[in-house]
Amino acid sequence: MRQPEQLASAISWPGPGIASAVPFLPGILTADQLIATGHAIAADQQADGSIGWPDGHVDAWNHVECAMALSVCGLRREARRAYAWLADAQQPDGSWPVQAASGGVVDEWTTESNHAAYCAVGVWHELLVTGDEDFAARMWPMVRAAIEFALGLQTPRGEIIWRRHEDGTPDSYALLAGSSSMFHSLRCAIALAERLAQPQPHWELAATMLGHAVACHGEAFADKSRFSMDWYYPVLGGPMRGTAAERLLKADWDTFVVPGLGVRCVSDEPWVTGAETCELAIALAAIGHRDQAMELFEQIQFLRAEDGSYWTGWQFVNGKHFPHEQSTWTAAAVVLAADVLATDVLAADGAANNDAANNSAANNGAAAGGAATGRTSTGAAGIFRDAAAGADVWQATDPAACGCPPAN
């Protein structure tokens, strides 16, 4: 398992425009096409730096996802404007309103733990892409406050309650997808803390408890099993690996995956969505199912619009886009999946080429490696696949070996 310092990859930026390392997947997406998708996201960025939903409201989770996609596409100035908005819009308790609007208007003051914690993923990602530790240091107070807000909603069993109401009282239950995402956020936060010499050992304990709850105690979470996110997020976020992850994804594959089209958003509607399909592709890559991941990613490209944006989904009975919108978070999911898959293919090709080099006298000592394939990536993709904080933080648990009695 690579340690944080091994995950870092400083990119030489030619200026405030396009980076020199933009991922691409031959036969699926070119680098220019991915850059066009980045520009489509940037076109929806508001003057204050916020990136919202098609209806105009902004939530911190999707905003961070878009900021990461901008960085992957080399749009550094736009990404930094997004992070500046995030820091400015944070509330004193470390949270963000669930629905904010450009210009500081707040439509709903409910705050979600998952939204808050995800800023750690974005800041760690930006550090890996750019190598800019000054930026990370400036963002550190924001990340620390956000993580503490989320952990203020953690129960003794380990799961994290999903939100606080407008009056500050916590809700009564946790969400499996949200807690899985927060496990990923905690790992990135721990890695960031270590890099900045600001260790937070209680975060490591919190991550251990949270990962264990996700992997081994489904009774801790509200039943949202009709949503595909609840199916694959324990793998995407990292708590489940190995045979447990294999069993989980196999169990509901036929429920959620529509052959040739992608992944349903919910099990009871004929509706596939781009973001869920790309996230499942990342989860599959995380457990080594590269071919399945690539197949899903290629299938969902039918949602691509001419300008590089992506339709949110497709109602395959009516044969219409549903909802009839092109969403920034869908485009962002495509970009991040492309980065992961480009890295995965590059690594696999590198291993294959090295094997061939070792077994062939005909190569005359020529260097063989993934770079020869022509594929590239930002070097930050591993945060969606590897343990961002290293193997010493938490090891995935097989539920069959847990041995804990179910909670009452």
pLDDT at 220 exceeding the cut of 60: yes
Quote the pTM value: 0.87
| pLDDT on residue 378 | 74
Between 396 and 26, the more confident residue is: 26
Q: Band of the pLDDT at 364, cuts 50, 70, 90?
A: very low
Q: Band of the pLDDT at 386, cuts 50, 70, 90?
A: low
Share of the chain above pLDDT 90, in %: 73
Q: What is the mean pLDDT of residues 190-212?
A: 94
pLDDT at 374 exceeding the cut of 80: no
Q: What is the mean pLDDT of residues 122-141?
A: 95
Q: Band of the pLDDT at 101, cuts 50, 70, 90?
A: low
Between 9 and 147, the more confident residue is: 147
| pLDDT on residue 192 | 94
pLDDT digits (tens, 9 = 90+) for 104-118: 666 668 999 999 999
Q: Band of the pLDDT at 9, cuts 50, 70, 90?
A: very low
Q: What is the mean pLDDT of residues 286-291?
A: 92
Give the least confident one: 38-42, 94-98, 111-115, 257-261: 94-98
Between 384 and 226, the more confident residue is: 226
pLDDT at 372 exceeding the cut of 50: no
pLDDT at 304 exceeding the cut of 60: yes
| pLDDT on residue 241 | 87
Share of the chain above pLDDT 70, in %: 79
pLDDT digits (tens, 9 = 90+) for 250-282: 999 999 999 999 999 999 999 999 999 999 999
Neighbouring CB atoms inside 10 A of 355's CB total 11
Instruction: Tell me the C-alpha distance between 159 and 234, whole Å.
Output: 13
| pLDDT on residue 144 | 98
pLDDT at 381 exceeding the cut of 80: no
Q: What is the mean pLDDT of residues 118-139?
A: 95
| pLDDT on residue 401 | 64
Q: Band of the pLDDT at 404, cuts 50, 70, 90?
A: confident
pLDDT digits (tens, 9 = 90+) for 292-302: 999 999 999 99
Q: Band of the pLDDT at 21, cuts 50, 70, 90?
A: confident
| pLDDT on residue 398 | 63
pLDDT at 39 exceeding the cut of 60: yes
pLDDT digits (tens, 9 = 90+) for 306-362: 999 999 999 999 999 999 999 999 999 999 999 999 976 666 665 544 444 333 333
Measured in degrees and rounded to the nearest 5, phi and psi for residue 242 equal 65, -145
